[in-house]
């Protein structure tokens, strides 16, 4: 490197397309738009949104994504080469790609002669024509800025018949492709072979811009991406947290951290993006409703965990002697497993200003202790910032009781042949008065939300502005049989008088009973909103 400018590597995210091929991964349209926004904020270069022909959700995505005001990222539509024997303009898939109005189109085609002969059953010349035509058709539309060519099974194809594999790439270049994406589709290639193959390719096609797309079937997805960059690739494709079919795609979180922190490359447009990698990882896990992977490189909850003893003492003194990068460099934090030394500074860093407790070590420690007790019970505060702030308000005696619960009762009734019905009854004391209300709902949470609102609406009209938006449930310790607990997280939106959303916040509840866990998250949200809205309690 020395005085040279570090080389900048393009990062192409396919969480929304290849990632959703992973077992059990489904993202709603809203999730996909949220992830797009988040990736753009962190400076990702390309975001593959989906396959416009495959389903109505992807069609809707490409319509709605145009309304997002993306700062930097280009949205890409993914599709296959045209079918055999017809013109690209007559192919329904080709037209769907162009109609998506995406600035970038990524087209996948066959490289491996075996696939051409046996899977497609077409002549090798027709395959070359399909590649060139399809790309040329897309580049022929003014709104299409670039077409990337995904060379499926490239490394297997190159091993079997290098001449033909190179012909397919030449066809893509002839069609106007601006990136040749070498795909290790079945994840079986070794780094040494990836390196030598790309080096040979660079000799044959010195002007071509190479991208790399790897899978983790041999535990080598990261290594294969890095050797490709070393051999001259300008772009890495992968997914957040490595979600994807079989053993997953390469995890872009790990790739970006390695490129930037270990190898001296530039990546992601926003300068401090690596500081947000942990946040990004957890955001995607939450939306995909997946569990965090504690041992995930760089961003896992265990990535900077240290066990007790002399070692911990040394870590405190000379961290770099035990940690290959600082946890802060990726937005993660160190955890000391046997002691409670960690975290107080985190609290100071995140909320010190808002709560004016930057120098109040005792309070920080008190809250940290409480967090540790609750996390042992299954709570999680990383994505439930409102419940966490409520802990702080309580520790500072700034969380009054806004009401007193007498009881709630929730009844779900189903008669054969009819849809089930749900009724919730709430009795609370507000000031000197009892409020006893009932509401129906789609389910218990909806009904309890309705009944509690009715009970509180006169005393606290501010609750009118807060609306339940999203609801997530997870079993916390599934293997303990009847003692299994559920963790409920509920997201709320705060709206102004014009129904414009001002902000979102999330609360958490944990209980063996899913309804009671939901009640806890619901009441946390109401209390939090009333404090933030500076409501005066009627209970004194």
Residues 14-33 that bind its own copies (CB under 8 A): 21-24, 26, 28-30
Neighbouring C-beta atoms of residue 291, cutoff 10 Å:
8
In this structure, how many other beta carbons lie within 10 angstroms of the beta carbon of residue 355? Answer: 20
Q: How far apart are CA 424 and CA 17, in angstroms?
A: 41
Interface segment toward its own copies; rule CB under 8 A; list 61-69, 125-133, 179-187, 273-281: 179-187
Of residues 117-136, those binding its own copies (CB under 8 A) = 118-119
Is 196 a binding residue for its own copies by CB under 8 A? The answer is: no
Name the residue nearer to its own copies (CB basis): 71 or 324: 324
Q: Segment 449-508, which members bind its own copies (CB under 8 A)?
A: 469-479, 482-484, 486, 491
> Using CB under 8 A, which residues numbered 393 to 412 contact its own copies?
404-412
Distance between CA atoms of residues 100 and 141, nearest Å: 12
Find, among 50, 150, 145, the residue nearest to 106 by Cα.
150
State in angstroms the smallest separation of the CB of 509 from its own copies: 12
Residue 442 CB coordination number (10 Å): 12
The CB density around residue 40, as the number of other CB atoms within 10 Å, is 22
List the interface residues with its own copies, window 316-375 (CB under 8 A).
Answer: 317-318, 321-325, 337, 340-341
| 440 is a site residue for its own copies (CB under 8 A) | no
One DSSP character per residue, 434-465 reads EEEEEEEESSHHHHHHHHHHHHHTTT-GGGGG
Selected from 295, 394, 436, 504, the binder of its own copies by CB under 8 A is 295
- Smallest gap from Cβ 471 to its own copies, in A, equals 5
* Contact predicate 279/331, CB 8 Å: yes
Among 442, 461, 501, 536, binds its own copies (CB under 8 A): 442
Binders of its own copies among residues 76 to 105 (CB under 8 A) are none
What residues numbered 520-539 form the site for its own copies, per CB under 8 A? Answer: none
E strand or H helix at 110: strand 104-110
Which residues ranging from 244 to 283 are in contact with its own copies (CB under 8 A)? 245-248, 251, 254, 257-258, 262-263
Which of 422, 437, 459, 526 is close enough to bind its own copies by CB under 8 A? 422
Could you write out the three-class secondary structure of 311-348? HHHHHHHCHHHCCCCCHHHHCCCCEECCCCCCCHHHHH
CB of 268 to its own copies, least distance (A): 17
- Give least dist CB 473 to its own copies, A: 4
Find the part of the chain contacting its own copies (CB under 8 A) among 84-92, 199-207, 238-246, 360-368.
238-246
Q: Residue 499 is encoded by which pair of tokens?
A: 């129904």
> Cα separation of 475 and 354, whole Å?
33
**Residue selected from 32, 38, 82, 153 as contacting its own copies according to rule CB under 8 A:** 153
C-alpha to C-alpha distance for 384 and 369, rounded to whole angstroms: 17
- 169, 173, 303, 351: which one binds its own copies (CB under 8 A): 303
Collapsing DSSP states into helix, strand and coil, what is residue 133? helix
Q: Which is nearer to its own copies, 173 or 402 (CB)?
A: 402
3-state secondary structure of 151: strand
Among 397, 416, 498, 499, binds its own copies (CB under 8 A): 416
CB of 80 to its own copies, least distance (A): 9
Count of residues that interact with its own copies, criterion CB under 8 A? 120
Whether 422 and 412 have beta carbons less than 8 Å apart is answered as yes
Q: Which of residues 154-173 bind its own copies (CB under 8 A)?
A: 156
Output Rg (C-alpha) for the chain, integer angstroms: 27
């Amino acid at each position: 490197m020395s005085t040279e400018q570090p080389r900048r590597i393009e990062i192409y995210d396919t969480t929304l397309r290849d990632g959703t091929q992973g077992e059990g991964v489904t993202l709603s349209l809203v999730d996909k738009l949220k992830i797009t926004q988040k990736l753009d904020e962190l400076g990702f270069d390309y975001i593959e949104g989906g396959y416009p022909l495959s389903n109505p959700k992807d069609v809707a995505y490409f319509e709605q994504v145009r309304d997002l005001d993306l700062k930097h990222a280009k949205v890409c539509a993914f599709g296959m080469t045209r079918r055999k024997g017809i013109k690209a303009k007559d192919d329904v898939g080709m037209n769907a790609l162009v109609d998506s109005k995406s600035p970038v189109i990524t087209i996948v085609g066959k490289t491996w002669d075996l696939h051409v002969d046996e899977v497609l059953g077409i002549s090798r010349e027709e395959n070359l024509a399909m590649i060139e035509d399809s790309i040329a058709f897309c580049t022929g539309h003014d709104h299409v800025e670039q077409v990337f060519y995904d060379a499926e099974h490239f490394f297997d194809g190159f091993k079997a018949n290098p001449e033909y594999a190179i012909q397919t790439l030449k066809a893509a270049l002839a069609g106007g492709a601006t990136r040749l994406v070498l795909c290790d589709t079945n994840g079986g290639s070794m780094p040494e072979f990836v390196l030598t193959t790309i080096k040979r390719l660079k000799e044959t096609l010195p002007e071509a811009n190479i991208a790399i797309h790897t899978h983790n079937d041999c535990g080598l997805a990261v290594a294969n991406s890095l050797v490709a960059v070393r051999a001259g690739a300008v772009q890495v494709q992968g997914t957040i947290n490595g979600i994807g079919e079989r053993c997953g795609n390469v995890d872009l979180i790990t790739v970006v951290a390695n490129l930037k922190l270990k190898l001296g490359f530039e990546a992601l447009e926003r300068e401090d993006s690596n500081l947000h990698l942990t946040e990004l990882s957890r955001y995607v896990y939450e939306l995909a409703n997946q569990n965090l992977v504690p041992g995930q490189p760089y961003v896992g909850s265990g990535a900077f965990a240290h066990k007790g003893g002399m070692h911990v003492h040394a870590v405190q003194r000379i961290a770099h002697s035990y940690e290959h990068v600082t946890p802060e460099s990726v937005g993660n934090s160190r955890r000391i497993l046997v002691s409670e030394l960690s975290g107080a500074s985190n609290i100071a860093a995140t909320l010190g200003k808002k709560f004016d407790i930057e120098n109040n070590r005792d309070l920080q420690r008190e809250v940290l202790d409480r967090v540790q007790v609750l996390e042992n019970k299954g709570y999680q505060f990383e994505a439930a910032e409102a419940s966490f702030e409520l802990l702080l308000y309580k520790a500072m005696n700034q969380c009054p009781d806004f009401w007193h619960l007498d009881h709630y009762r929730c009844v779900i009734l189903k008669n054969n042949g009819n849809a089930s019905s749900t009724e919730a009854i709430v009795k609370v004391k507000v000031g000197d008065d009892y409020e006893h209300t009932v509401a129906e709902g789609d389910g218990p949470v909806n009904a309890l939300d309705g009944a509690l609102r009715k009970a509180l609406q006169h005393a606290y009209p501010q609750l009118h502005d807060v609306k339940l938006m999203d609801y997530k449930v997870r079993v916390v310790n599934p293997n303990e049989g009847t003692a299994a607990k559920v963790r409920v997280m509920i997201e709320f939106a705060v709206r102004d008088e014009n129904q414009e959303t001002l902000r979102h916040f999330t609360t958490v509840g944990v209980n063996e009973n899913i309804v009671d866990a939901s009640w806890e998250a619901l009441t946390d949200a109401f209390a939090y909103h009333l404090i933030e809205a500076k409501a005066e309690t009627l209970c004194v």
